[in-house]
């Protein structure tokens, strides 16, 4: 068998032969020709109105203008391909990107060094924003008659033009604006494409100012961007409110007292309120944390069964005595700390309105109340638990002693994480309220269902009533599952499965928003602390520099100006 393929063609009396290697070479040649011509990256410059590859504005989708393309591109001649080879190789005509042509007609960007002719003010406007030049037809701006660019069309004098733009080139009919070019690029994209969105690195509040300057409504923003803008505005309003309260407190404060008492009060205030002010502040904060931990351990030890049995009998062993001494020392320290904070406070009424100060009062008062109640005289032969009055007093004392655990909340003065938690709870009141509403609705729905399902089955009557089923619904929806109330029937188990799945979904809805608020609040408080530290270092540096300058002026024997008063010397 021959390794060749013979093709016969009627061309007179001759017949020509084509071998197999020649056929393979010809097929590979045609394959590479098809790939090179069908590639999406065209090697020749496009016609006017289509974006040149690699010359689009980043993130804007606005093409730059290019010159007219030649009739026969150079790559065609270099390859030796006929001009109409695309029509023979491809089955149909290539679809033209009508969207880019549409954007080009509505707005386009021109190069800064482009030698384009002056714009025709009857048809279009040429603007220069921060060094970037754009050409916008008036037909595009007719949809936004209240915008700044549309109002330029109504100007009849240079004075009116100067009120709307920063400069005007009468020769080239070009309007100059000293504004953010990146923000205006997004606005031009909105004018061309009809979608107003923000870039990731753009500040929402700054872009809001740009929208107000160019006369574009905020409601035209995309929903996600508008939601981000509203969130930032709420945070800004809260920060401004806090700054206003801080300025009011600063205005109420009296001027600095240069006397010894004023210096001592300033030192006491820095030591008590600012642990990073120096070594005394750090020692004071460490002692406070140590006494809080000691109180928590003492409270836990006092609930041991041996000590509780002795307390019920009215006896007091050596262990009880030691615990009482430890508690007395801790309460004495907390009382001293509370008094110091009260003394250094400038506004005494505002001091009692602070949440941490209220916690201090609730944590300290049970000890003194228990001392006052236990010191009352008893009747002869009356046991501590005999009368109803003493039983009530004992119950009150046990409740007050349980309030000693509030000492742990004092750690919020020295912990950034606890401060962030409190700020998150205050900012997420809506989310927590929404979560509570969802939980109440679901509990009200699933409690009667499981009660009816279990009672109709006639098995174990663990669900005695609908209010008793509320506890089961809450435990099931929070996926805790204590196991004290378990549905036994198949309908009850189906209700339990539905309640568990509903609880997972309900808990997941506000959790994401709360988590984002917590992380944002943590970063905000951390930056605030860094800013305060930098400000404190700056003040200390300025004070030391001014003191050094004052001493150098005093030591100078030939001062140029008038002599310093004797009190400064």
Q: What's the longest Cα–Cα distance across the chain?
A: 147
- Report angle CA 380, 386, 388 to the nearest 5 degrees: 115
Which secondary structure element, helix H or strand E, spans residue 132, and what is its range?
A: strand 132-137
pTM exceeds 0.75: no
Q: Is residue 494 part of a domain?
A: yes
Both tokens of 462, joined, read 């663990």
Same domain, 225 and 299: no
The three-state secondary structure class of 134 is strand
> Burial code of 294-330, b = ≥16 C-beta within 10 A, e = fewer?
bbeebbeebeeeebeeebeeeeeeeeeeebeebbeeb
Same domain, 187 and 220: yes
Q: What is the CATH number of the domain that holds 484?
A: 1.10.287.70
- What total of structural domains would you count in the chain? 4
Residue of 380, 340, 376 lying closest to 357 (CA atoms) = 340
- Report angle CA 333, 337, 340 to the nearest 5 degrees: 140
pLDDT at res. 193? 80
pLDDT at res. 23? 59
Distances (CA, A) of 55 to 51, 59, 62, 198, 409: 7, 12, 9, 22, 61
Same domain, 305 and 397: yes
Q: What is the pLDDT along the chain (569 residues), one digit of tens a residue?
A: 444 444 444 444 444 455 555 655 566 666 556 545 544 443 334 433 333 433 444 344 444 444 443 444 444 344 444 544 444 444 444 444 444 444 445 666 666 555 455 556 678 888 889 888 888 888 888 888 888 888 888 888 888 888 888 888 888 888 899 888 888 888 888 888 888 888 877 888 888 888 899 988 888 888 888 888 888 888 888 778 877 776 776 666 555 556 778 788 888 888 888 777 778 888 888 888 888 888 888 888 877 877 776 666 666 677 778 888 888 898 899 899 899 988 888 878 888 888 888 888 888 888 888 777 765 555 544 444 444 565 666 666 667 666 767 777 777 777 778 888 888 888 888 888 888 999 999 999 999 999 888 888 766 567 888 888 999 999 999 888 888 888 888 888 999 999 999 999 888 888 888 888 888 888 888 887 777 777 767 766 776 776 666 556 545 544 444 443 433 33
CA 554 to chain centre: 53
β-pair partners for 132: 129
pLDDT at res. 488? 86
Q: Is residue 363 part of a domain?
A: yes
Same domain, 89 and 111: no
Which secondary structure element, helix H or strand E, spans residue 175, and what is its range?
A: strand 174-177
Which positions ≥6 away from 466 have C-beta within 8 Å? 447, 448, 451
In angstroms, how far is the first alpha carbon of the chain from the final one? 121
**Phi, then psi, of 387 in degrees rounded to 5:** -85, 160
Residues 60, 346: Cα–Cα separation, whole Å: 56
366 in Cβ contact with 404 (< 8 Å): yes
Q: What range does the domain containing 124 cover?
A: 103-236
End of a domain among 220, 236, 252?
A: 236
Residues 181, 60: Cα–Cα separation, whole Å: 12
Same domain, 328 and 388: yes
Same domain, 36 and 170: no
pLDDT at res. 97? 44
pLDDT at res. 550? 56
Q: What is the CATH number of the domain that holds 337?
A: 1.20.120.350
Residues 305, 147: Cα–Cα separation, whole Å: 79
Residues 6, 20: Cα–Cα separation, whole Å: 9
Q: Is residue 551 part of a domain?
A: no
Same domain, 449 and 492: yes
């Amino acid at each position: 068998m021959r390794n060749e393929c013979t093709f016969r063609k009627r061309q007179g009396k001759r017949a020509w032969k084509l071998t197999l290697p020649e056929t393979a070479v010809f097929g590979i040649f045609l394959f590479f020709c098809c790939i090179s011509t069908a590639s999406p990256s065209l090697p020749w410059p496009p016609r006017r109105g289509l974006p040149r590859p690699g010359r689009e504005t980043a993130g804007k989708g606005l093409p730059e203008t290019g010159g007219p393309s030649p009739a026969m591109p150079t790559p065609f001649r270099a390859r030796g391909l006929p001009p109409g080879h695309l029509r023979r190789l491809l089955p149909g005509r290539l679809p033209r990107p009508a969207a880019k042509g549409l954007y080009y007609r509505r707005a386009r960007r021109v190069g800064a060094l482009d030698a384009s002719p002056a714009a025709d003010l009857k048809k279009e406007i040429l603007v220069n924003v921060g060094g970037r030049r754009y050409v916008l037809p008036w037909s595009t701006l007719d949809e936004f008659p209240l915008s700044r660019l549309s109002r330029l069309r109504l100007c009849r004098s240079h004075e009116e033009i100067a009120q709307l733009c920063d400069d005007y080139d009468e020769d080239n009919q070009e309007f100059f604006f000293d504004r953010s070019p990146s923000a205006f690029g997004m606005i031009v994209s909105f004018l061309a494409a009809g979608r107003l969105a923000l870039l990731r690195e753009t500040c929402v509040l700054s872009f809001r100012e740009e929208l107000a300057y160019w006369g574009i409504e905020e409601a035209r923003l995309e929903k996600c961007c508008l939601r981000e803008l509203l969130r930032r505005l709420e945070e800004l309003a809260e920060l401004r409110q806090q700054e206003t309260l801080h300025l009011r407190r600063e205005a109420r404060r009296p001027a600095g007292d240069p006397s010894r008492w004023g210096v001592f009060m300033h030192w006491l205030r820095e030591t008590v309120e600012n642990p990073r002010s120096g070594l005394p502040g750090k020692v004071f904060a460490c002692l406070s944390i140590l006494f809080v931990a000691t109180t928590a351990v003492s409270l836990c030890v006092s609930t041991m069964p041996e000590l509780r049995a002795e307390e019920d009998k009215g006896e007091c062993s050596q262990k009880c005595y030691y615990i009482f001494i430890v508690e007395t020392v801790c309460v004495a320290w907390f009382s001293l700390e509370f008094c110091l904070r009260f003394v250094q406070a400038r506004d005494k009424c505002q001091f009692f309105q602070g949440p941490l100060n209220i916690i201090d009062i609730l944590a300290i008062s049970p000890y003194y109340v228990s001392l006052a109640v236990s010191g009352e005289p008893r009747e002869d032969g009356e046991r501590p638990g005999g009368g109803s009055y003493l039983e009530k007093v004992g119950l009150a004392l046990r409740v007050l002693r349980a309030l000693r655990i509030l000492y742990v909340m004092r750690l919020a003065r020295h912990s950034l994480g606890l401060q962030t938690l409190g700020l998150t709870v205050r900012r997420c009141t809506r989310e927590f309220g929404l979560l509570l509403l969802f939980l109440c609705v679901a509990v009200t729905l699933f409690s009667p269902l499981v009660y009816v399902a279990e009672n109709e089955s006639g098995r174990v009557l663990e669900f005695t009533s609908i209010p008793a089923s509320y506890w089961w619904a809450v435990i099931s929806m929070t996926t805790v599952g204590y196991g004290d109330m378990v549905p036994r029937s198949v309908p009850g188990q189906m209700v339990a499965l539905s309640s568990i799945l509903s609880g997972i979904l309900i808990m997941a809805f506000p959790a994401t928003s709360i988590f984002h608020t917590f992380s944002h609040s943590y970063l905000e408080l951390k930056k605030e602390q860094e800013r305060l530290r930098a400000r404190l270092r700056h003040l200390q540096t300025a004070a030391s520099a001014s003191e050094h300058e004052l001493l150098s002026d005093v030591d100078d024997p030939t001062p140029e100006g008038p002599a310093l008063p004797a009190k400064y010397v």
